[in-house]
Amino acid sequence: MDRILIRGGNRLSGRLRISGAKNAALTLMPCALLTDEPLTLRNLPRLADVDGFGHLLNQLGASTRIEGTRPEDFGRVMTIRAGKLTSTEAPYDIVRKMRASILVLGPVLARAGEATVSLPGGCAIGNRPIDLHLKALEAIGAELEMAAGYVKATAPGGRLTGGRYRFPVVSVGATENVVMAAVLAKGSSVIENAAREPEIVDLCNCLVAMGARIEGIGTETLEIEGVDRLHGATYAVMPDRIEAGSYACAAAITGGSLELLGANAADMQATIDALREAGVTVTETRDGVSVEANAPLGPITLSTAPYPGFATDMQAQFMAMLCKASGASVLTETIFENRYMHVPELARMGADIQVHGRTAVVKGVDRLVGAPVMATDLRASMSLILAGLAAEGETSVARVYHLDRGYERLEEKLSAVGADIERASDG
């Protein structure tokens, strides 16, 4: 099994390219199931989750073709064609590895009139039930039953009717699923209290490029007029705002200076605001976003929230960064109840963190020390990488398959801007 080895203490400096967004890519890929024409996605990140989702699409009868890929290229161009769905079932063996697999439920149901999907897996960061997915689909005409760990959805008469649904709490995944289902419904649908994340906007824009009719994109109310069919399209995946934020934290914790090429400041404003509050200089450039940490980091108070609030996917990285701040920072996790599993691992490196329920108090320390640590989930993995970059001595991060799910060529990117980092295999 692979490990990441980091010898800390180097100041990062230079230009680092941001990849296509993992969370957007995994939402755009199932759009191909809504048409028999090809959907070509550009700027697709080279990630284990993207490969896994491609296998799931193959299982359902879609072909996937990678165009002109060279090993040294960042990003890929993938053409997906679901001329005919040969299966309407997403099996446990594939779905258990990746929670995003639940996103085939809406499009397969809309296209074929039925879908059977295993309950999902993914990172062990807390309870993430799919009840909101199911309630939203019911509201637009689906009939559902659960048995033996599977959800079976049907559209009476072979097609969803459309309808109105208001989410009791904001749910990104459920918003994505119901939007993809509603675009082929017989009637119109209104989705209230919809998630507003940039990845939702990216999804809606891709669907519109395929012929969908959606109003209110980027707001909490989406109005969707169902159409008889969608056509193919070519669409570029948005840059990864979480990857950009992660590398911004890398610049900050090492007292470095990085230009994040391709990063979109508008999509990551809450992250930028928090960095500035901690004393980091962040400026927009012609090619992306520049991050510079010339002064000691200061303590801040943060609470995660749905977009446009501070993203839960950035909490672990900020916790690592704030281990080097002067003073005590307070972080509150409101989205997932089990997202502090990285705390004991950071403590092994000398961090001073006290957790009280959903709140963590991070007291800055003079030095972090390299140690063997173990990744527990995707973003926790990155927090350990960040701590390792600033630690004295060598840090060994085990279970890096989590990192491979969400960070494209991490070692290459960090090495190119001055990090002493490499991947090692245990055999």
The 3-state DSSP class for residue 354 equals strand
Binding-site annotation, residues for UDP-N-acetyl-alpha-D-glucosamine:
99, 128-132, 313, 335
Instruction: Tell me the pLDDT tens digit for each residue of 224-251.
Output: 999 999 999 999 999 999 999 999 999 9
| Selected residue with higher pLDDT from 125 and 268 | 268
Same domain, 274 and 320: yes
Considering the domain architecture, whether residues 56 and 111 belong to the same structural domain is answered as yes
**What are the b/e assignments for 318-336, b being 16+ CB within 10 Å?**
bbbbbbbbeeebebbbebb
CATH of the domain at 157: 3.65.10.10
Q: Tokens representing 268? A: 């990551």
For the annotated catalytic residues, the residue numbers are 123
Where is the domain boundary, 236, 266, 293? 236
Residue 392 structure tokens: 């004295």
Per the structure, the complete domain to which residue 260 belongs is given by 2-18+239-425
My answer on whether 43 and 145 are in the same domain is yes
Residues 341 and 415 in one domain: yes
Last residue of a domain, one of 236, 268, 295: 236
Residue 65's pLDDT is what? 95
Q: How many folded domains does the chain comprise? A: 2
Q: What was the pLDDT predicted at 338?
A: 67
User: What size, in residues, is the chain?
Assistant: 427
Same domain, 272 and 171: no
**Mean model confidence pLDDT for the chain:** 94
Q: What is the pTM of this model?
A: 0.94
Binding site feature residues for phosphoenolpyruvate: 22-23
- Of 183, 204, 236, which marks where a domain is finished? 236
Give the Cα separation of 333 and 357 in Å (integer): 9
Residues 101, 166 within the same domain: yes
Residues 61-115: pLDDT tens digits? 999 999 866 656 668 999 999 999 999 999 888 887 787 899 999 999 999 999 9
Would you list which residues are annotated within the binding site?
A: 22-23, 99, 128-132, 313, 335
